[in-house]
């Protein structure tokens, strides 16, 4: 199952199981309290019968001076339970039938164990029913997601022909007109579309299973060399030790790095700088730019959120999703007109230092 399906299943299962389980537990608790009350009633009834025949081994038989305690009533203290009964022709004494607290607590414990056993069996049935219900409720969501994915795949496939046509004609125009700022803007727009297409394709196909050892410095160097051709006026600096390796999905991490480096370049100032630094002590990769900054950093990861005409507002959302799938914590700090810094925090278990 995909992450969104697992999350949906977990939420529906938890809500259903906890609500039904709480109701069942409450009913069993109330029923157990009634059982305890019935136990007292049964014991008192047995004492009544015993007071007539005195033929009962369960209770201790004794005689006590008459006091203000009522007859035919069950009394309790820490040591015993008892009930008093009048004696014919003996007005100064009362018959006392008692049961030790130890025996009484044993009977209460037996009732408690029986109630707990019944409760556990009932909760097991509720658990199985909750799982079945959750899978049943998940089915329409899975079908909708499947249809959406297939639709997006078809659209991505259909992109290829018009994009190829645009790139071919743009190449011909560049030969005819030479260097032209308008053509450069068109070329960058096509690159954005290609990046978006690649993001969506990898996001749809990503399964989060193929984990491999990735040399972080090599990955960053490779992506920076590609960007330097498109942004020759920007300065890129990399501070990553060659010994650092990350155990993760190569395609997933590649898409995250590509999006962050692309944004740091795209929204930078002329003759600006992009700094890529890895903090070995904290296992944090930071990508900082000296660009335009973001007015609302908290909204930056929302789908389709953007503050500029360029871009589609989906890059950082995909970064957030992929980072979550890969177990990478992503944070953002930004100041308008000063720049933006993205932080990728890796789990200690996923980082290797090759000496």
Identify the pLDDT of residue 1: 62
For the chain, give the secondary structure using H, E and C.
Answer: CCHHHHHHHHHHHHHHHHHHHHHHHHHHHHHHHHHHHHHHHHHHHHHHHHHHHCCCCCCEEEEEECCCCCCCCCEECCCEEEEEEECCCCCCEEEEEEEEHHHHHHHHHHHHHHHHHHHHHHHHHHHHHHHHHHHHHHHHHHHHHHHHHHHHHHHHHHHHHHHHHHHHHHHHHHHHHCCCHHHHHHHHHHHHHHHHHHHHHHHHHCCCCCCEEEEHHHHHHHHHHHHHHHCCCCEEEEECCCCEEEEECHHHHHHHHHHHHHHHHHCCCCCCEEEEEEECCCCEEEEEECCCCCCCHHHCCCCCCCCCCCCCCCHHHHHHHHHHHHCCEEEEEEECCCEEEEEEECCHHHEEECC
Residue 327 φ/ψ region, left for φ over 0, alpha for ψ in the -120 to 50 degree band, beta for the rest: left
Identify the pLDDT of residue 21: 92
- pLDDT > 70? residue 125: yes
* pLDDT tens digits along 272-307: 999 999 998 899 999 999 988 888 888 888 877 776
Rounded to an integer, the average pLDDT of 3-13 is: 79
Identify the pLDDT of residue 331: 92
Identify the pLDDT of residue 312: 59
Identify the pLDDT of residue 123: 93
Token pair 């068109």: residue: 186
Identify the pLDDT of residue 209: 54
Rounded to an integer, the average pLDDT of 168-189 is: 78
- pLDDT > 70? residue 308: no
189 or 35, higher pLDDT: 35
Residue 48: count of CB within 10 angstroms of its CB: 13
Identify the pLDDT of residue 152: 73
Evaluate if pTM is beyond 0.75: no
- pLDDT > 90? residue 34: yes
- pLDDT > 60? residue 270: yes
Give the span between the Cα atoms of 207 and 324, in whole angstroms.
Answer: 12
Give the lowest-confidence range in 166-175, 180-189, 228-237, 286-295.
180-189
Rounded to an integer, the average pLDDT of 11-39 is: 92
142 or 10, higher pLDDT: 10
Give the lowest-confidence range in 19-28, 57-66, 305-314.
305-314
Rounded to an integer, the average pLDDT of 240-262 is: 88
* pLDDT tens digits along 64-95: 998 888 999 999 998 999 999 998 888 889 99
Give the lowest-confidence range in 28-42, 66-80, 187-201, 324-338.
187-201
Mean pLDDT, all residues of the chain: 85
Domains, in order of start, for the chain: 3-138 (no CATH), 210-353 (3.30.565.10)
Residue 240: count of CB within 10 angstroms of its CB: 19
């Amino acid at each position: 199952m995909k992450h969104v399906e697992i999350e949906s299943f977990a939420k529906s299962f938890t809500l259903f199981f906890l609500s039904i389980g709480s109701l069942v537990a409450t009913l069993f608790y109330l029923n157990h309290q009634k059982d305890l009350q019935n136990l007292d009633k049964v014991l008192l009834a047995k004492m009544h019968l015993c007071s007539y025949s005195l033929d009962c081994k369960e209770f201790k038989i004794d005689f006590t001076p008459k006091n203000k305690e009522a007859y035919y009533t069950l009394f309790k203290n820490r040591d015993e339970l008892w009930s008093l009964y009048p004696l014919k022709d003996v007005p100064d004494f009362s018959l006392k039938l008692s049961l030790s607290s130890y025996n009484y607590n044993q009977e209460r414990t037996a009732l408690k164990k029986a109630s707990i056993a019944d409760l556990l069996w009932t909760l097991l049935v509720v658990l199985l029913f909750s799982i079945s219900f959750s899978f049943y409720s998940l089915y329409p969501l899975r079908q909708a997601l499947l249809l959406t994915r297939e639709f997006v795949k078809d659209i991505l496939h259909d992109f290829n022909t018009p994009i190829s046509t645009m790139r071919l004609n743009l190449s011909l125009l560049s030969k005819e007109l030479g260097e032209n700022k308008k053509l450069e803007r068109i070329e960058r727009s096509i690159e954005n579309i290609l990046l978006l297409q690649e993001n969506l394709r990898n996001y749809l196909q990503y399964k989060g299973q193929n984990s491999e050892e990735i040399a972080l410095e090599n990955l960053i160097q490779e992506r920076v060399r590609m960007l330097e051709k498109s942004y020759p006026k920007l300065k890129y600096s990399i501070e990553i030790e060659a010994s650092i390796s990350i155990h993760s999905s190569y395609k997933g991490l590649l898409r995250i790095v590509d999006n962050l480096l692309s944004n740091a370049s795209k929204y930078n100032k002329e003759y600006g700088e992009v700094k890529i630094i890895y903090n070995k002590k904290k296992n944090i990769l930071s990508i900082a730019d000296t660009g335009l900054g973001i007015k609302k950093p908290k909204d930056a990861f929302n789908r389709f959120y953007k503050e500029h005409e360029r871009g589609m507002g989906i890059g950082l959302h995909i970064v957030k999703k992929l980072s979550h799938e890969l177990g990478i914590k992503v944070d953002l700090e930004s100041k308008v007109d000063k720049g933006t810094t993205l932080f990728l925090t890796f789990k200690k278990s996923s980082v290797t230092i090759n000496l």
